[in-house]
Structure 1
Amino acid sequence: MKFQLYKINANNDFEVICKGLAERIYLDGRFTIKYKGEEFETEEQLPDHSATAKVLINKLKEHKVINDFSDIKGIGHRIVHGGERFTQSTIITDEVFMEIKKMITLAPLHNPPAIAAIKAFRNIIAVPNVAVFDTSFHTTISEENYLYSVPYEWYTDHQVRRYGFHGISYRYITNHLAKILEKPVEEVNAVICHLGNGASMCAVKKGKSFDTSMGLTPLEGLIMGTRSGDIDPSIHQYIATETGQDLATITDILNKKSGLLGISGVSSDLRDVFASSKENQRSRLALKMSSKRIAKYLLAYANELDGEVDAIVFTAGIGENSAAMRQLVINNLKILKVDLDPIANEKKYDSEKLISSTRSILPIYAIRTDEEIMICTDTYNLTKK
């Protein structure tokens, strides 16, 4: 559970007061909070997300970040899946809460912890809670891009369609890129590569999501840390027949034991895969496969934007920080005349940097995303009185 606490200043600027992370929930819990330039890390009993929410609130008081619970005016939650029901952020009423619970079948890995956190915070503090959905940015995608070539009744009766994820990040990057390019948001065309342990891509056309790589769930698309990305769906039946494993077990393997981890046999962390690539042929293979998959989508999306691409953007943990992966991806874009400046690509930066060379026909940027500020902004706008 990641968190940030913001203060709204007089001119409506958002100032980060503190931030932190509760990790290894269900295991040997660890809680980290950063406040006034200091970092405090403790081992905590975190048996579930409800208990974690209570620890979080108590830590804010313990470190005197707040004097009382009443200091907090609103709480924003990142919700991975909002289905077709939620096209924008919303205050969490009892009705909204029930609708989010219905989405568990579409996001069984992500929505339950979020639901537990919402329930816990609503029980602790009597302030508005706001749901900010990863899927809402992609509700502008047209039928031809969000439907699968399956019986149409699967969509009408069971909501089988492409939903897309990482939408909060894509919304931030699109807005930030508009400022960099000095263009209105509604005129921005870009291919954005959100590359982290979970990874996806988005074609942004006229400031809106036009196509994206993740689908019904976050399993489709790119090769990720532990997720397979695109595969032949017949693999499920074949492995079930060969091994006797049921569909739930196989899907779990595709989510948690595939991707970089499955190919390399070393780690789901790209840094470990790069570090082992000199000696480990499977690590080299994982890097080749991953970068080629990203390039494949990038070329397809450039085509979907009719070649009118304002910029290529790399963001999220890997996209922002791995100069080596960015270079591997660009090396695979042979039909596009794009090129990286090796010095700029390696240079440290705070918010954004232009990493393309003067020979590149398109500008290429590395931009640090900020999903938290988007959640904060929506929460403030929906709860201010």
Structure 2
Amino acid sequence: MVRSPVLVINSGSSSLKFSVFDMHTGREVLAGLAERLGSPEALMSWQGEGAKQHRAIPDQGHDGALREVHSLLDDVGTLVAIGHRVVHGGEAFSGSVVIDEAVIEGIEGCASLAPLHNPANLLGIRAMQRLYPSVPQVAVFDTAFHQSLAPEAYLYAIPIRLYREQRVRRYGFHGTSHQYVAGEAVHRLELDPQDHGLITAHLGNGCSAAAIHNGRSVDTTMGMTPLEGLVMGTRSGDVDPGLHEFLAEKLGLTLAEITAMLNRESGLLGLSALSNDMRTLTEAAQSGNGDAQRAIEVFCFRLARQIGALAASLPRLDALVFTGGIGENAAPVREQVLKRLPLFGFECDTALNNQHGDDRGRINAPGTTTAVVIPTREEWMIANDAFQLTHPSSGVE
């Protein structure tokens, strides 16, 4: 049996990720994914101590998937807490909180800022409350880490009444990941916790970068929604706001159709007309696919440009940190990005980069500005927050 097991739930619109951690060892003892929920092809896969397993769960939604998860927990022991990833906390939440009805109302109040995410997150919360009514549950917000941004970093240059009345501003996302890898970088590189400057790049299907000064986020690339900023798997990142009117007039598209296109049909997928997966694009580019090559080049250029912009928010730059599925695994992307940043003293060590870093994750050439690869542990951060908030005298971190 697991000592002090904590369940982590990440409930998406049509998928659900779950993990269980032994809080006394920090070990992930169970992890899985239910995907294509609500469709005849709904499938759940998971891995515990043995081989990876799969189970068809046709037409099951979030409640059905979570009942399946519940059935897997018999060997885990009695849960001591459940942590939920919640994408948008707006200005209402600057840290993780134990969930009660007031918190749920606050999450609902932020739903208009993340209509694709917060309602799905709430589905997971409500379902787990029904399944585990006596287990304390905690919400961990993607936006919370970035609540330290100053007004000059979070305000848009639009009529101030829109911020005061509607809270239109930049919020930032992936905060759990940025916070974790920044802390790891300070530890691995033996930086002063009270005096350091980092840029962290979380690169996956969703991508964002952040400037971190002395453990606090001071700038980030995502904005009011996860659409702003870097080129992503299917999201465009930054575009001219006038694009909406242009496409509406030229193609007769509605605002909703344009927004859906920018979220689901753009980014690497749109540029390449092939795939949103960097592995597929890298293979295609090596085989001579020009669209795939250009998609990668745009991705790397935009990332390098944003890294340069984020550096302006820091008094100094001690290290650049790569994380996320692309950041941790796509050596050619990291090398291309560093080659675009000689102004900041970066130079890639190809051998170290190809092995994804030395024992501390460093991929830079000796005597050049530090660049490191650090695997993110978002689920562990959520589990730890949930455990610490519900068991504050445990002493486990």
The answer to whether the 8 A contact 1:229-1:259 is kept is yes
Residue 23 (structure 2) pairs with residue 14 (structure 1): no
The answer to whether the 8 A contact 1:320-1:368 is kept is yes
The answer to whether the 8 A contact 1:50-1:119 is kept is no
Moved more, 13-22 or 95-104: 13-22
How far did residue 359 of structure 1 move?
4.2
Distance 2:42 2:360 in 1: 34
What is the letter of the counterpart of residue 143 of structure 1? P
How far did residue 349 of structure 1 move?
6.5
Distance 1:335 1:183 in 2: 22
Return the match for 1:294 from 303, 317, 327. 303
Residue 276 (structure 2) pairs with residue 268 (structure 1): yes
Residue 377 (structure 2) pairs with residue 370 (structure 1): yes
Q: Percent of aligned positions with the same letter in both sequences? A: 38
The answer to whether the 8 A contact 1:351-1:367 is kept is no
How far did residue 143 of structure 1 move?
0.2
What is the letter of the counterpart of residue 302 of structure 1? A
Residue 231 (structure 2) pairs with residue 214 (structure 1): no
Return the match for 1:159 from 163, 167, 172. 167
Q: What are the superposed Cα offsets for residues 34-55 of structure 1, whole Å, 9 maximum, x if unpaired?
A: 1113221111135322222111
How far did residue 19 of structure 1 move?
1.3
Distance 1:377 1:14 in 2: 9
Query: How many residues are matched?
Result: 374
SS in 2 for 1:31: strand
Return the match for 2:37 from 22, 25, 29. 25
What is the letter of the counterpart of residue 310 of structure 2? Y
What is the letter of the counterpart of residue 354 of structure 2? E
Give the CA RMSD over aligned residues: 1.5
Q: Which has the higher contact order (CA 8 A, sep 6+)?
A: 2
Distance 1:18 1:44 in 2: 19
Moved more, 92-101 or 174-183: 174-183
How far did residue 60 of structure 1 move?
2.4
Return the match for 1:50 from 63, 66, 70. 63
How far did residue 110 of structure 1 move?
1.1
Distance 2:357 2:247 in 1: 46
* Mapping for residues 216-255 of structure 1, pairs under 5 Å: 216-255=224-263
Distance 2:359 2:280 in 1: 25
Distance 1:46 1:131, change over 3 A: farther
Return the match for 2:314 from 294, 305, 310. 305
Q: What are the superposed Cα offsets for residues 194-238 of structure 1, whole Å, 9 maximum, x if unpaired?
A: 111100000001210010000000000000000000000110111
Distance 2:87 2:59 in 1: 22
Distance 2:113 2:235 in 1: 16
What are structure 1's unaligned runs of at least 5 residues?
Answer: none
Return the match for 1:183 from 172, 175, 191. 191
Residue 334 (structure 2) pairs with residue 321 (structure 1): no
SS in 2 for 1:120: helix
What is the letter of the counterpart of residue 128 of structure 2? F
What is the letter of the counterpart of residue 60 of structure 1? L
Give the structure 1 partner of residue 88 of structure 2: 81
Distance 1:201 1:134 in 2: 13
Runs ≥4 residues deviating over 3 A: 348-352
SS in 2 for 1:186: coil
How far did residue 26 of structure 1 move?
2.4
The answer to whether the 8 A contact 2:356-2:373 is kept is no
Distance 1:224 1:195 in 2: 8
Give the structure 1 partner of residue 19 of structure 2: 4
* Mapping for residues 272-287 of structure 1, pairs under 5 Å: 272-277=280-285, 278-287=287-296
What are structure 2's unaligned runs of at least 5 residues?
Answer: 1-15, 393-397
The answer to whether the 8 A contact 1:222-1:229 is kept is yes
TM-score (norm 2): 0.91
SS in 2 for 1:149: coil
Q: What are the superposed Cα offsets for residues 152-195 of structure 1, whole Å, 9 maximum, x if unpaired?
A: 01100111100000000011111111111223433231011111
